[in-house]
Structure 1
Amino acid sequence: MKAIKCLIISVCLSGGLSACDDFFDTVPNDQLSPATFWKTEADVINAVTACYEDWNNPATGSSDVFFADCMSDIAYSFTGSSSYKNVSNGSLSSTSTVGYYSYTTIRRCNLVLENAGQVSFTDEVKKKDLLAQARTIRAWRYFQMNFWYGGVPLITNLPELAEDAQLPRSSEDDIKKFVYDELDLAIADLNRKPEERGRIAKGTALAIKMRASLYWGDLEQAMKAARDIQNLDLYKLDPDFLTMFSEAGVDSEEIIYAMQHVKDTYAFDNAVRMFNNQDGGWASWVPTQNFVDMYEMSNGKTIDEEDSGYDPIHPFYNRDPRLYKTVIYPGMDFVSPAGVKRIFNTLDKKIGGSANADFMDAATNASHTGLLWAKYILPTTQFSPSLSNAAICPILFRYAEVLLTIAEINVEKNENIEEVFDILDELRTTRGHIVVDRNKYNTQDKLRELVRKERCLELAGEGLRRADLLRWRDTTGKPLAETIMNQTLYRISGTVDMKETDPTRRAVIELPTAENEKFRKLEQLNYEPHNRYLPFTQTELDRNPNLKQNEGY
């Protein structure tokens, strides 16, 4: 039997981030045998805990929350880490991988579900809850693989030999049914509230069912799951938006589930991928200027509307306040993790005669868009200067997504339109913006476009954009990806006026010219119809001769 790593999955306790409870008090063993294991409640708890390691994405773990948007138009990865960039520019092949295809976590869950039933518990409700946690994780993994690959081998037992696992792909519909059935079984047995932070409870399983149903177009089912989450009466929007994404915000009532990390125990070690060159970061995932351009002005008008007040020379001035809570932009007042105050400047090649380490082309690990995500970075004082050993807990599901799902489905069904506007107004005003001009969005098509944009702005940097572009259709029925993922990503060029007191007016941007065109052009996105699904890697094809490659690769 394959060895199980007895993991210390870091769950932050309400008493403090440095404390851990029985969830983590596992005895380390190198090998486990059926003859000695599966005897006690502690064995089951340890085995279920092992299922949590990187359950969002076995290859990149919680980093997938950030990397995934680099497969879209709103985020960029210059180095192409983990091949996410290859998805956005259309160069992915069987040599590329983004890590969604993996049976490691599924096997751990299968191990639990096949063996834990024989263990006696003093509290059978607790036992059912633990098994439901494993069932939920397995359902999530199959949902992820099915959405990205379009049908995968369905393995629910423990193959003894590699040949036993060499199964052909089940149909996409068969995997869908399996995911839904598994989630329904899990939801019935899961606790209403998690026993401790980091454990899956009803809200998490319902959020998976909601997202899966929305992605697969089962709108009635998605709506029911969203309403069921509301009826739990556990979640609400957090008025302190940025804090929710920081170490201080781990107990936010908006968070349904976050990937847990604890300093010194199971630390978040990817802060280095968030920061820019000057702070020792790699700038592995950064927002794009194309994304910034989606934000309205403070008056609610888009930047290309007449009398909006938009000034392309000062593009960060007088914008939707949510922009400043989402993106770190040139000219912004900034404090480094070492506590040094400076003006964030990615536009000037030199500052005071010295080379600027944050200039967009200063180094491979400089932000090539000139931007950083404010989510999870601010406040920078939560990080050590080494950018290691952090306790950031990337959010996988939060209540804003529930509200936006309800709004989207209402629009698609063309009903409950007042609720749609009420939801958008609640989101916008809670984050500091103004309400929607309801007279402006007076048709289904206009309101659909607004809801989609609001979903993008609210959930940016959280890994949902690519999937949305694949499932959304334009008025001709074509996936939006065919248009949006065939555009050019541009970046700004100019200078930062260090004497200007208003941070939003410090960036002075050059208008596009033939001379700066080469610098401004960042990346050409590319999407073909076969890119709806990802390719299986050659390694997986070699391992399983019955696994057939997706068309076009």
Structure 2
Amino acid sequence: MKKLIYLLAIVFIFSACSESFLETAPDDALSPSTFWKSKKDLDLALTGCYSGFEDGGTLMYRDCGSDNGYNNFPWEGWTAVGNGNLSPADPGASYYGFGTINRCNEFLLNADNATTVPEGDRAIYKAQARFIRAYKYYSLTTNYGDVPLITENFATPEDAKVPRDSQEVIRKFIEDELTAVIAILPASYSGAEYGKATKGAAQALLMRYYLYFKDYPKALATANSISGYSLNPTFTGLFDPANEQNSEIILSVQQTADLSAIDFTPFLPNGIGGWSSVVPTQSLVDAFEMANGKTIQEAESAGEYDPANPFVNRDPRLRATVVYPGQVFGDKIYRSVEVGSNDYYNKADNASKTGYNFKKYTSFMELDSGAPYWNMGSDIFIFRYAEVLLTIAEAKIELAQIDAALYTALNTVRLRAGMPAVDQAKYADQSSLRKLLRNERRVEFAMEGLRRDDIIRWNIATDVLNGNLMGAKRGTVLATTQPNGDYNVSMTLPANLIESRSFVAPKNNLLPIPQNAIDKNPKLSPNNQGY
């Protein structure tokens, strides 16, 4: 039901909608004399707002702008974001657009014309549009800094030629809007309306906003105010398409097969028909601890880690997140390190250049290797409760509140994943806990679109996004197996060089305003620093 409405809105109302000639002026307004009369009208128009507010594939691609991932095909836009070769003329994957904001403005202008809908219900409709608009402005300001604040649509092209507002103005708008709608939005909806913005979604966005801008007291208070959610019992089960509406999910991008499907072809290995567009880095693989909680460096010093057979006794989230050499995936042994394999880095354009593929969200291939991966109905998560718990932990660390609540938040996430509780003797001060927390966020949320923002707000992007990006060491998949069914490997041959990456701060902390937007509206100049 909910997903059919999504399609109807996209096809029936906003199919002709596009970013306008000035990037800020709408060209798809609906006539108040013929629309905006009934609940059905509000449902269709609001669904048009939802249809453009987030994209599941973009969330997964976004990790390629960090040290977690690599985008194999430059024309998809994320290679340049990852290696820093951006310019206004070639801005890479762009978030710069106001189409969804325009639709929300149109909705908010006209929703109260539907007087047959009770006022309280109209307030909830409007609160959802305000949430979507705030979400888009959060994305705009974290990626571009100063942007035009458009709360009412323009009447003429000349009116739409407006300058950028300061990030301080945008931030105040986001905070004020979210604070207001939290008091209006319901905690949940009926099953047919699952996927709409709730009070919890607005709280989660406000929490993320505070964390990004380092307002740790408010981030902690907001995270602690979120209730009604709990972790899914298992990490692997969290990403089972049959379990997409589990208790951990606060908000997700809604997908359904045949109607508004997601195509996982870009994420799957060449050997089973995928494109390997988005692949994990060796750095990400190395970030997963051993199953006993030691880092791989600590384990190697203790004789407990073999770099030639590196996937033995690792954090279970590694196997749930990454397809690595020797793993059985899609009824085939993944042999990316072997010359001649269809997944060897130079065997085909669609072979992973890092020697790894992402597995998160595609574990359905283990249950049914013949699943139509190009036409899946798997929802992609925007906010989940694990982020709330790790926000509590991070805020407490930054506020130097080293207490039981901090360890409980960390341990709840780790224990669910099958990892041991935090060693409180080893991780007892702010510095060691900060390092642990940052790594925990990295491995928990890999491929969920959070890593780039994290490394920028932590001011470590220059440390982790400069230098050569190397693939996995090459070698052989052996005939012996591990207890989990994976085959042992011998990876001793040199790794391949993929690309050289550069991140210069503060330039690369923001993306460039696309030149075509500035050409349409010269008042957007000057561009962000360094572009």
Scaled by the length of structure 2, the TM-score of the pair is 0.91
In structure 1, what residue type is equivalent to 2:178? L
Deviation at 1:279, TM superposition (A): 1.7
Alpha-carbon distance between aligned partners in 2 of 1:166 and 1:149, rounded to the nearest angstrom: 18
Alpha-carbon distance between aligned partners in 2 of 1:434 and 1:308, rounded to the nearest angstrom: 20
Name the structure 2 match of 1:450.
436
In structure 2, what residue type is equivalent to 1:224? A
Name the structure 2 match of 1:135.
130
Alpha-carbon distance between aligned partners in 2 of 1:290 and 1:384, rounded to the nearest angstrom: 31
The DSSP-based 3-state class of the residue aligned with 2:311 is coil
Q: Confirm or deny: 8 A CA contact 1:77 1:284 kept in the other structure.
A: yes
Deviation at 1:495, TM superposition (A): 2.9
Alpha-carbon distance between aligned partners in 2 of 1:123 and 1:244, rounded to the nearest angstrom: 38
Name the structure 2 match of 1:522.
498
1:387-425 C-alpha deviation (Å, 9 max, x unpaired): 322101110100000000000000000114322222222
Deviation at 1:112, TM superposition (A): 0.3
Which structure 2 segments of 5+ residues have no match? 17-27
Deviation at 1:138, TM superposition (A): 0.2
The DSSP-based 3-state class of the residue aligned with 1:434 is coil
Name the structure 1 match of 2:266.
273
Alpha-carbon distance between aligned partners in 2 of 1:257 and 1:405, rounded to the nearest angstrom: 17
Name the structure 1 match of 2:258.
264
Alignment of 1:137-536 (within 5 A): 137-195=132-190, 196-230=193-227, 234-268=228-262, 270-305=263-298, 306-307=301-302, 309-335=304-330, 341-350=331-340, 356-380=341-365, 381=367, 387-472=373-458, 479-502=459-482, 503-504=485-486, 506-510=488-492, 516=494, 519-529=495-505, 530-536=507-513
Q: Confirm or deny: 8 A CA contact 1:469 1:480 kept in the other structure.
A: yes
The DSSP-based 3-state class of the residue aligned with 2:12 is coil
In structure 2, what residue type is equivalent to 1:144? S
Residue 83 of structure 2 corresponds to residue 93 of structure 1 = no
1:466-487 C-alpha deviation (Å, 9 max, x unpaired): 1111111xxxxxx211111113
In structure 1, what residue type is equivalent to 2:490? V
Name the structure 2 match of 1:79.
73
The DSSP-based 3-state class of the residue aligned with 1:489 is strand
Name the structure 2 match of 1:125.
120
Q: Confirm or deny: 8 A CA contact 2:336 2:355 kept in the other structure.
A: yes
Number of matched residues? 506
Residue 62 of structure 2 corresponds to residue 68 of structure 1 = yes
Q: Confirm or deny: 8 A CA contact 2:325 2:477 kept in the other structure.
A: no
Alpha-carbon distance between aligned partners in 1 of 2:434 and 2:47, rounded to the nearest angstrom: 41
Deviation at 1:226, TM superposition (A): 0.9
Deviation at 1:497, TM superposition (A): 3.0
Alpha-carbon distance between aligned partners in 1 of 2:157 and 2:51, rounded to the nearest angstrom: 23
Name the structure 1 match of 2:24.
none
Q: Confirm or deny: 8 A CA contact 2:81 2:92 kept in the other structure.
A: no
The DSSP-based 3-state class of the residue aligned with 1:497 is strand
Name the structure 2 match of 1:544.
521
The DSSP-based 3-state class of the residue aligned with 2:302 is coil
In structure 1, what residue type is equivalent to 2:136? R
Alpha-carbon distance between aligned partners in 1 of 2:8 and 2:500, rounded to the nearest angstrom: 49
Q: Confirm or deny: 8 A CA contact 1:81 1:284 kept in the other structure.
A: no
1:350-392 C-alpha deviation (Å, 9 max, x unpaired): 2xxxxx2211221111111111122111021467555322101
Deviation at 1:11, TM superposition (A): 3.6
Deviation at 1:328, TM superposition (A): 1.2
Q: Confirm or deny: 8 A CA contact 1:263 1:389 kept in the other structure.
A: yes
In structure 2, what residue type is equivalent to 1:197? Y
Alpha-carbon distance between aligned partners in 2 of 1:462 and 1:140, rounded to the nearest angstrom: 16
Deviation at 1:521, TM superposition (A): 2.2
Determine which of 33, 36, 43 is the counterpart of 1:35. Answer: 33
In structure 1, what residue type is equivalent to 2:476? V
1:514-533 C-alpha deviation (Å, 9 max, x unpaired): xx3xx522222211111111
Name the structure 2 match of 1:353.
none
In structure 2, what residue type is equivalent to 1:204? A
In structure 2, what residue type is equivalent to 1:427? V
Query: Higher mean Cα deviation, 457-466 or 242-251?
Result: 242-251
Alpha-carbon distance between aligned partners in 1 of 2:240 and 2:118, rounded to the nearest angstrom: 36
In structure 2, what residue type is equivalent to 1:552? G
1:321-376 C-alpha deviation (Å, 9 max, x unpaired): 221121111101222xxxxx2211111122xxxxx221122111111111112211
In structure 2, what residue type is equivalent to 1:522? I
Q: Confirm or deny: 8 A CA contact 1:322 1:433 kept in the other structure.
A: no
In structure 2, what residue type is equivalent to 1:323? L
Say if 1:342 and 1:97 are closer, same or farther in 2 by CA, change over 3 A. closer
Alpha-carbon distance between aligned partners in 1 of 2:145 and 2:455, rounded to the nearest angstrom: 16
Alpha-carbon distance between aligned partners in 1 of 2:255 and 2:233, rounded to the nearest angstrom: 24
Deviation at 1:285, TM superposition (A): 0.8
Q: Confirm or deny: 8 A CA contact 1:192 1:203 kept in the other structure.
A: yes
Alpha-carbon distance between aligned partners in 2 of 1:240 and 1:158, rounded to the nearest angstrom: 46
Say if 1:148 and 1:128 are closer, same or farther in 2 by CA, change over 3 A. same
Q: Confirm or deny: 8 A CA contact 1:488 1:523 kept in the other structure.
A: yes
Q: Confirm or deny: 8 A CA contact 2:6 2:48 kept in the other structure.
A: no
1:85-113 C-alpha deviation (Å, 9 max, x unpaired): 21221101112232211100000000000
Alpha-carbon distance between aligned partners in 2 of 1:420 and 1:504, rounded to the nearest angstrom: 35
Deviation at 1:80, TM superposition (A): 2.6
Scaled by the length of structure 1, the TM-score of the pair is 0.88
Which structure 1 segments of 5+ residues have no match? 1-9, 13-19, 336-340, 351-355, 473-478
Query: Higher mean Cα deviation, 77-86 or 200-209?
Result: 77-86
Deviation at 1:229, TM superposition (A): 1.0
Q: Confirm or deny: 8 A CA contact 1:11 1:262 kept in the other structure.
A: no
- Percent of paired sites with the same residue: 38
Query: Higher mean Cα deviation, 109-118 or 414-423?
Result: 414-423
Query: Higher mean Cα deviation, 283-292 or 100-109?
Result: 283-292
Q: Confirm or deny: 8 A CA contact 2:207 2:219 kept in the other structure.
A: yes
Alpha-carbon distance between aligned partners in 2 of 1:213 and 1:415, rounded to the nearest angstrom: 17
